[in-house]
């Protein structure tokens, strides 16, 4: 790696809840720099959650994220000309990032409805331990467990 690593930037909380996690989630939803549209999608999703559950949507969101965040992942490493899938524990920051991205990706892939409805449905599915984001987490975990024999190659 050349040069020095870029400094970590402080992210301010979002405009409605003043929560850093929600602000990051909005940034992950955002496409082509259209932050106002991403905010409308996320806040619309939170309104749907609040309407259906009569609970604080931040609590529901964090609960869904905890269900989706992975514990283990595999990384490819070349040793002696052979590529190995080596299981690693996932750091907390990356766990959050992966969880958010999997929820958003699953919502984008589902058909019909508006994005805020698809996002709300995916969050409800994650709470109930079902849906595409949970399936992705389980697939990654199974891959890590299947390659447990190569764990000694991890640094």
Tens of pLDDT along 68-92? 999 999 999 999 999 999 999 999 9
Residue 52 domain-assigned? yes
Token pair belonging to 125? 């599915």
> What single DSSP character describes residue 73?
E
Residue 51 resides in a domain: yes
| 66 falls within a domain | yes
Say if CB 69 and CB 103 are below 8 A apart.
no
Q: Residues for the chain: how many in total?
A: 155
Q: Domain limits at 141?
A: 20-153
- What pLDDT score was predicted for residue 153? 86
Q: What share of the chain is helix, strand, coil (3-state, %, to 5)?
A: 60, 10, 30
Q: How many domains does the chain have?
A: 1
Q: Please name which of 60, 56, 69, 35 lies closest in space to residue 119, comparing C-alpha atoms.
A: 60
The answer to whether residue 9 is domain-embedded is: no
pLDDT for residue 49: 96
How many Å from the N-terminal Cα to the C-terminal Cα in the chain?
Answer: 17
- Domain-located, residue 127: yes
**pLDDT band at residue 112 using 50, 70 and 90 as cut-offs:** confident
What phi-psi label fits residue 55: left (phi over 0), alpha (psi between -120 and 50 degrees) or beta?
beta
The span from the CA of 103 to the CA of 58, in Å, is 15
- For 6-43, what is each residue's pLDDT tens digit? 999 999 999 999 999 999 999 999 999 999 999 999 99
Domain of 117: which CATH number? 1.10.455.10
- Does a structural domain hold residue 15? no
Number of helices (H) and strands (E), helices first, in the chain? 6, 2
Asked if residue 139 belongs to a domain, the reply is yes
Q: Is residue 84 part of a domain?
A: yes
Distances (CA, A) of 124 to 7, 39, 52, 60, 84: 35, 19, 10, 8, 36
pLDDT of residue 154: 83
pTM of the model: 0.91
């Amino acid at each position: 790696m050349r040069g020095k690593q870029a400094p970590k930037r402080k992210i301010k909380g979002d405009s409605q809840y003043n929560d850093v996690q929600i602000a990051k989630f909005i940034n992950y939803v955002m496409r082509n720099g259209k932050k106002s549209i991403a905010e409308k999608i996320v806040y619309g999703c939170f309104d749907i959650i609040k309407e259906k559950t009569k609970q604080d949507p931040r609590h529901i969101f964090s609960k869904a994220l905890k269900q989706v965040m992975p514990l283990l992942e595999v990384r490819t490493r070349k040793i002696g000309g052979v590529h190995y899938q080596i299981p690693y524990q996932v750091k907390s920051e990356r766990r959050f990032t992966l969880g958010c991205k999997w929820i958003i990706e699953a919502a984008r892939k589902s058909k019909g409805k508006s994005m805020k409805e698809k996002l709300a449905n995916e969050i409800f599915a994650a709470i109930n331990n079902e849906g595409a984001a949970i399936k992705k987490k389980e697939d990654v975990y199974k891959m890590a467990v299947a390659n447990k024999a190569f764990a000694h190659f991890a640094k």
